[in-house]
Amino acid sequence: MQHVQGRIFRDLSMHEVGPAERSALYIAMIETLALLHSFDLQSLGLQGYGRGPGYCRRQVSTWKRQYDAAAHTDIPAMNKLAEWLANNLPPDDNEESLIHGDFRIDNIIFHPTEARVSAVLDWELSTAGHPLADLAYATLFYFWPTSNKDFSQGTVLGFKDTIETPSFEELVAIYCRCQGVSTTLSNFNFFLALSYFKMAAISQGVYARYLIGNASAENSPEFAKIVKPLAERGLELSKRSSFSSTHHSISGGLFHQSRKGQEILLKVKQFMKQHIYPAEKEIIKYYAGRANTEEKWKKPPLLERLKGMAKVEGLWNLFLPDVSGLSQLDYALIAEETGKCFFAPEVFNCHAPDTGNMEVLHMYGTEEQKKEWLEPLLEGKISSCFCMTEPDVASSDATNMQCSIERDGNSYVINGKKWWSSGAGNPNCKVAIVMGKTKNSSASRYEQHSMIIVPMDTPGLKLIRPLSVFGYLDEIHGGHFEIHFNDVRVPVSNIILGEGRGFEIAQGRLGPGRIHHCMRSLGAAETALQIMCQRAAERETFGKKLYHHEVVAHWIAECRLSIDQARLLTLKTASKLDMLGNRKARKEVAMTKVAVPRAVLKVIDCAIQVCGGAGVSQDFPLASMKRLQPVLSWSLQPSIHLKGVPAKAAKVSQDGTVSEYLELEAFYN
């Protein structure tokens, strides 16, 4: 026994520290629990510690006996819960690991300044038993009854604030990773129900001591009020087969992911942490070493290996609802996570322009087109590009396009120039979707354009040059090319949906794509904000840390506000896309395309300011972000969409001209 310097948190919300440190402290706690459960009793000289097999049976019996001795009134829920526990003991009730018995946040001493555990207190309930009993007890607060939330603040039975990070799923995933076991925990409903039964019995005991004058807690009379809610929550948990903290979220929320969306997001976060972030330096080094050679267009072998791993994990084609089973709202949050690393979307086969082209083929392609082009794209065997913008006209008005698509017997002949065709430099780019004008002078100006499939090896198709973005070629994404089409001939069967349907196709699929772009951008903004905060905490000027300077603290606060506001708008848009479809959500899409680029660029600018000279160097990703985000901003046409917002709001009172304008506005990308 020795004295240990450190911090003990009596309030589960840890309001004394910020979200990042709170998350790190909880992770340290759960990693310590996993380490404790990994100890071998025999190697520690603890043979015979505890009472042998049957831990769960003894726990049910012990706490039922203690509750019965303290009960002052009949609570049917407690009796039902006790009966359920006794009749549903885990089959593996012979597990004998070293367990703590009372593992919770206020029984831990954390390092005075670091997010690590210095000591674990109160071992009087430790024994040999089932490790999931400890894990359930340590995480039961995620499912705490709302009626009890404010009870006994400052203790394990209550907390002042919401607990948003880390999530229950993240803690369980970390524990399972440390233990080397599956995240599918057998009989976890039993252990959560047992934890609530135990808490209810303890609370009943506190009240019983109050009745005879032996209670030390000032609020001991109040403990009688929480026994029933705890028992009822235990009964509810006993009936569940899977668990998510958002199912009974402490913090609540305006937008709710599906259970599958939550599970996939968690798996993506784990994959990012375990595989993608550690690969960033090698990927950057690969491209830096080939910048002046033709090898720069080839994909690094490491990236291909990561794609294979993601595919095996089922983290593949997440953007397409009919394939992934995810909603737009589900995928929006996943897109934000992948946006935190510049090559992550490609790892999951969720990168532009392939996503947009796959959406077009999935929604409008014939069965033959799907078999020849969509299937290999979905499998990641080939990539694609999209050819719309032209160098000789103002392409922000898509009706200006001059590239022609003319019928000639059983073929279409394509002539024209395109540029900013992203991905065309990828050696694996095998197909382009080209938008051009088909002759029909009597049709509306929005019914004169078509989309057609053009294999990249078709005679007459020529890559002219890569276009630089602020001096950079964007090799990892296959660059942005000028492409000329000189009498390029393809079969009539390559037309998508039919002549004059180009705008219809674009309107049908571009809404979700814009949301994906925006959420990925917000992921990049989160990375920039994290860099800014780290730099502000590390560097000193004029005798104090940067974040102690009022202007820097103000920047950080404003950036946090901007990101969260933009995210809420984007999630609202994604939710409306799910509920009402693309056309009904056009106003929200337009607003999102204005708000997100503004917010992201603001955050990146502030981060560069805080990082100083390093912020514009290759030592940080901020310069690359600064280069790419304005391009996204321009491609999203925020000025045009800003003009479109009030027009949409007043659409019912406008004439046909405005309605036509709005149809065009919905096309811009």
**Residue 482, number of CB atoms within 10 A of its CB:** 19
> Do 384 and 431 contact (CB within 8 A), yes or no?
yes
Q: Is the peptide bond before 166 cis (omega within 30 degrees of 0)?
A: yes
What gap in Å lies between CA 365 and CA 566, rounded to an integer? 34
What gap in Å lies between CA 665 and CA 641, rounded to an integer? 7
Banded model confidence at residue 668, pLDDT cuts 50, 70, 90: very low
B/e letters for 487-511, b = 16+ CB within 10 Å, e = fewer, are ebebeeebbbbebbbbbbbbbbbbb
Q: What is the mean pLDDT of the segment spanning 444-455?
A: 93
Residue 268: how many CA atoms within 13 Å on its side-chain side? 30
Mean pLDDT of the chain: 85
What gap in Å lies between CA 401 and CA 113, rounded to an integer? 61
Strand 404-408 vs strand 411-422: parallel, antiparallel, or unpaired? antiparallel
> Given the structure tokens 């019912």, which residue do they identify?
652
Residue among 501, 395, 487 at smallest CA distance from 450:
501
What gap in Å lies between CA 30 and CA 9, rounded to an integer? 15
Determine what percent of the chain is predicted with pLDDT higher than 90.
55
Q: Report how far apart, in Å, the C-alpha atoms of 471 and of each of 135, 391, 474, 518 are.
A: 53, 18, 9, 24
| 532-539 contacts, C-beta under 8 A, 24 or more apart | 532/556, 532/559, 532/603, 532/606, 532/607, 532/610, 532/611, 533/20, 535/607, 535/610, 535/611, 535/614, 536/610
> Do 480 and 391 contact (CB within 8 A), yes or no?
no
Low-confidence winner among 6-15, 302-311, 443-452, 482-491 (lowest mean pLDDT): 6-15
Q: What is the mean pLDDT of the segment spanning 16-45?
A: 87
Q: What is the pTM of this model?
A: 0.63
> Do 449 and 462 contact (CB within 8 A), yes or no?
no
487: left (phi over 0), alpha (psi -120 to 50) or beta: left
Adjacent-strand bridge partners of 417:
484
Residue among 141, 152, 158 at smallest CA distance from 221:
152
Residue 438 CA, chain-centre distance (Å), reads: 42
Q: Helix-strand-coil percent breakdown of the chain, rounded to 5?
A: 55, 10, 35
669, pLDDT greater than 90: no
Banded model confidence at residue 13, pLDDT cuts 50, 70, 90: confident
- pLDDT, tens digit, for every residue of 616-641? 988 889 988 887 765 555 555 544 44
- Please give the structure tokens belonging to residue 502: 């180009």
Strand 411-422 vs strand 383-387: parallel, antiparallel, or unpaired? unpaired
Q: Is the peptide bond before 466 cis (omega within 30 degrees of 0)?
A: no
Q: Which amino acid is at 76?
A: P
Q: Where are the beta strands (DSSP E) in 382-507?
A: 383-387, 404-408, 411-422, 429-437, 449-455, 461-466, 480-491
pLDDT at 648: 42
Q: Where are the beta strands (DSSP E) in 526-664?
A: 540-541, 544-545
Q: Mind spelling out the 3-state secondary structure of 252-289?
A: CCCCCCCHHHHHHHHHHHHHHHHHHHHHHHHHHHHHHC
Residue among 47, 29, 159 at smallest CA distance from 100:
29
pLDDT at 403: 96
- Please give the structure tokens belonging to residue 274: 């375990």
152, pLDDT greater than 50: no
121, pLDDT greater than 60: yes
- pLDDT, tens digit, for every residue of 160-170? 445 555 778 88
Low-confidence winner among 202-206, 253-257, 276-280, 590-594 (lowest mean pLDDT): 253-257
Residue 272: how many CA atoms within 13 Å on its side-chain side? 21
In 3-state terms, what secondary structure has residue 390?
coil
- Please give the structure tokens belonging to residue 321: 């609802």
Q: What is the mean pLDDT of the segment spanning 482-495?
A: 98
pLDDT at 412: 97
In 3-state terms, what secondary structure has residue 469?
strand
- pLDDT, tens digit, for every residue of 502-515? 998 987 767 788 88
286, pLDDT greater than 80: yes
pLDDT at 464: 97
> Do 200 and 85 contact (CB within 8 A), yes or no?
no
In 3-state terms, what secondary structure has residue 181?
coil
What gap in Å lies between CA 354 and CA 96, rounded to an integer? 52
631's CB contacts (< 8 A; 6+ apart) are 469
Query: Residue 461 — φ and ψ, nearest 5°?
Result: -90, 125
**Residue 512, number of CB atoms within 10 A of its CB:** 26
**Residue 33, number of CB atoms within 10 A of its CB:** 27
What gap in Å lies between CA 316 and CA 641, rounded to an integer? 32
CA dihedral 504, 510, 512, 516 (to 10 degrees): 170
345, pLDDT greater than 80: yes
Total residue length of the chain:
669
256, pLDDT greater than 80: no
- Please give the structure tokens belonging to residue 27: 């992770």
DSSP string, 367-387: HHHIIIIIHHHHHTS-EEEEE
CA dihedral 540, 543, 548, 553 (to 10 degrees): -60
What gap in Å lies between CA 518 and CA 601, rounded to an integer? 12
Banded model confidence at residue 147, pLDDT cuts 50, 70, 90: low
- Please give the structure tokens belonging to residue 660: 């036509």
Banded model confidence at residue 85, pLDDT cuts 50, 70, 90: very high
- pLDDT, tens digit, for every residue of 188-229? 999 999 999 999 999 898 888 888 888 777 778 888 888 998
pLDDT at 40: 87
pLDDT at 630: 56
Q: Which amino acid is at 145?
A: P
> Do 70 and 208 contact (CB within 8 A), yes or no?
yes
